[in-house]
Amino acid sequence: MYQIAQANIKAPVLGNQLIVDFYDCDCAYFDDLDWIENVMIEAAHYARASIVDVVFHKFNPIGISGVVVIAESHLAIHTWPEHRYAAIDVFTCGDTLDSEAAVAYLATQFRCRKRSVTKVGRGESGELAGGFPGDKASISTHERLVAVETIASERTSSED
């Protein structure tokens, strides 16, 4: 299970970003544009996000980059099939999304043997011009850790 190192000082934020590194993945599909796009769209559904647009690009000779733009921010991916590695970014605003469910789904689809997840609060209240907007419902109730919260790398249950 996850082990989280965190600081005690917290402040409200506008959004949360999960910076994800998947290592030693089953790379059979890492160079399949349609498959990667469909998996990222499904991950957005797992997060309960509202999809606005989807843009993906296949590089020559290998590798894919793409983004699923959601009303609540975005999910992005960059694959390096030759290294069996994927870098993923899940940025969400508000309290209604489950970004961790999206990451868990992606880990099972990519069959990664190791992953690292770093959670960063974005838009700390004390740093915003004018403070938070009047609509407090749009503010994440998650709190930003003063020290970046890093979820220790873990071996997934999909090891063969």
* Annotation marks residue 112 as catalytic: no
- Domain assignment present for 160: no
**Catalytic residue of the set 25, 27, 93, 112:** 93
Work out the pLDDT band at 129, boundaries 50, 70, 90: low
136-144: average pLDDT = 43
**Catalytic residue of the set 65, 74, 78, 116:** 78
Domain that holds residue 83: 4-155
CATH classification at residue 132: 3.60.90.10
Q: What is the pTM of this model?
A: 0.75
What is the dihedral angle through the alpha carbons of 23, 27, 30, 35, rounded to the nearest 10 degrees? -120
The pLDDT tens digits of the residues spanning 18-58 come to: 999 999 998 788 899 999 999 999 999 999 999 999 999 99
* Annotation marks residue 73 as catalytic: yes
Taking CA atoms, 74 is separated from 50, 83, 130, 131, 154, in Å, by: 10, 25, 25, 24, 24
User: Domain total for the chain?
Assistant: 1
* Annotation marks residue 25 as catalytic: no
The pLDDT tens digits of the residues spanning 72-123 come to: 899 999 999 999 999 999 999 877 889 999 999 999 999 999 999 998 888 7
**Catalytic residue of the set 73, 112, 140, 142:** 73
